[in-house]
């Protein structure tokens, strides 16, 4: 999927996406490092870097070690599988590069981490009885998608559509593409907040957090 600049969009699209590349390198490095370590300790490593909603619910209630709340942020850099990581990286590159070029690399990283943490916190609030360890960058990536839609509501995305035995390239409004994606996340959330190792709640919360932040950028930003 390719991002196509919309008509009349004059943002500084030539800026090199250092933060997206750097973040991707970190995510891949963590996954590679985890892959070369003994498989027997994988669950322990994920438990140390991820977060368990039931444990953090105790922290929010004034019990337990407050430092365990850092798992809301460190969980963004750990993935359960290569497929999980690959999916997040694909969305990160498609939507993250235009967002970084619009708001700058530092703000991009801050938005990814903080809004991703907010998305993870929504799992604790929504399912405080859940004992399963939650990991993955999905909350932060969903926030970036929300930021993209809020900053570029009129842009179009270049996609290849299967038409019989052929593929047809088409430019589709980002609102339609992201709207379809969000509808799926919402349906998964309503009919089952957890599906396997996927916390759909984080996708919905992250998207709204990013969309709200984009509104603040538009309201108080220079552009």
Ramachandran quadrant class, 193 (left: phi over 0; alpha: psi -120 to 50; beta: rest): alpha
pLDDT above 90 covers a percentage of the chain that reads 39
Residue 19 included in any domain: yes
- CATH number for the domain that contains residue 12: 1.20.1540.10
In this prediction, residues 119-136 reach a mean pLDDT of: 85
- DSSP string computed for the chain: -EEEPPTT--S-TTS--HHHHHHHHHHHHHHHHHHHS-GGGHHHHHHHHSB-HHHHHHHHTT-S-GGGGGHHHHGGG--SSHHHHHHHHHHHHHHHHHHHHHH-HHHHHHHHHHHHHHHHHHHHHH-TT--S-B--SHHHHHHHHHHHHHH-TT-EEEEEEEETTEEEEEEEEHHHHHHHHHHHHHHHHHH-SEETTEEHHHHHHHHHHHHHHHHHHHHHS--
* C-alpha–C-alpha distance, residues 202 and 208, integer Å: 10
Across 52-56, 63-67, 79-83, least confident range: 63-67
Residue 40 included in any domain: yes
In this prediction, residues 73-93 reach a mean pLDDT of: 91
| pLDDT higher than threshold 60 for residue 46 | yes
Token pair belonging to 209:
């957090």
Residue 130 included in any domain: yes
Question: By residue range, what is the domain housing residue 88?
Answer: 2-175+193-217
Residue 30 included in any domain: yes
Q: Is the pTM of this model over 0.85?
A: no
Residue 65 included in any domain: yes
**What are the two backbone dihedrals, phi and then psi, of residue 170, each rounded to the nearest 5 degrees?**
-145, 150
Confidence at residue 195, expressed as pLDDT on a 0 to 100 scale: 45
pLDDT tens per residue, range 200-212: 778 889 999 999 9
Task: Of 140, 143, 139, 165, give the one whose Cα is nearest residue 214.
Answer: 143
Residue 183 included in any domain: no
Residue 182 included in any domain: no
Residue 188 included in any domain: no
Token pair belonging to 206:
């992250």
Residue 187 CA, chain-centre distance (Å), reads 18
pLDDT grade for 189, boundaries at 50, 70 and 90: low
Token pair belonging to 166:
């052929």
How many residues are present in the chain?
Answer: 223
Give 65's Cβ-side CA count (13 Å radius): 6
Total structural domains in the chain?
Answer: 1
* C-alpha–C-alpha distance, residues 32 and 89, integer Å: 14
Mean pLDDT of the chain: 82
């Amino acid at each position: 999927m390719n991002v196509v600049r919309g008509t009349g969009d004059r943002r500084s699209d030539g800026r090199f996406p250092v933060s997206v590349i750097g973040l991707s390198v970190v995510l891949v490095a963590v996954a590679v490092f985890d892959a070369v370590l003994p498989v027997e300790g994988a669950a322990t490593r994920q438990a140390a870097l991820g977060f368990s909603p039931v444990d953090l619910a105790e922290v929010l209630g004034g019990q337990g070690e407050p430092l365990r709340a850092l798992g809301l942020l460190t969980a963004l850099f750990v993935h359960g599988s290569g497929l999980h990581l690959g999916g997040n990286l694909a969305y990160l590159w498609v939507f993250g590069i235009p967002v970084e070029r619009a708001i700058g690399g530092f703000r991009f990283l801050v938005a990814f981490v903080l809004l991703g943490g907010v998305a993870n916190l929504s799992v604790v609030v929504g399912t405080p009885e859940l004992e399963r360890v939650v990991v993955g960058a999905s909350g932060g990536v969903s926030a970036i998608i929300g930021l993209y839609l809020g900053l570029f509501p009129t842009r179009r995305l270049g996609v290849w559509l299967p038409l019989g035995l052929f593929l047809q390239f088409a430019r589709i409004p980002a609102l339609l593409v992201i709207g379809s994606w969000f509808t799926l996340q919402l349906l998964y959330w309503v009919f089952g907040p957890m599906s396997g190792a996927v916390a759909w709640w984080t996708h919905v919360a992250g998207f709204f957090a990013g969309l709200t932040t984009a509104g603040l950028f538009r309201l108080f930003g220079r552009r």
